[in-house]
Amino acid sequence: MMSELTYETVRDWVMSNPLNDGNMSVFTIKRRFRIAHERAEVFMRRLVADGIVSDAGKPRAILKTNK
């Protein structure tokens, strides 16, 4: 059984900035976690609301990292 993907898992991955050159997109989240586009968009909206990624641009700039 596959474990349920949580927002915290996605957030921590985005903030660790693995090979993303400071940018993030819905497509990158979708591809990395192998999830539906709509679900990746939900995660992205929450990342924007939490101030982790910018609310404009494609791809969006990562504003907060764990580095």
Give the start-to-end residue ranges of the domains of the chain.
7-61
Distance of CA 10 to the CA centre of its chain: 6
Q: What is the pTM of this model?
A: 0.87
pLDDT at 67: 65
CA pair distance 1, 53, nearest whole angstrom:
31
Query: Where do we find the tokens 């909206």?
Result: 45
**Rounded distance between C-alpha atoms, residue 64 and residue 31, angstroms:** 21
60 beta partners = 24
* pLDDT tens sequence for the chain (67 residues): 456 999 999 999 999 966 668 899 999 999 999 999 999 999 999 999 999 999 988 889 999 988 6
Q: What is the CATH architecture of 7-61?
A: Orthogonal Bundle (1.10)
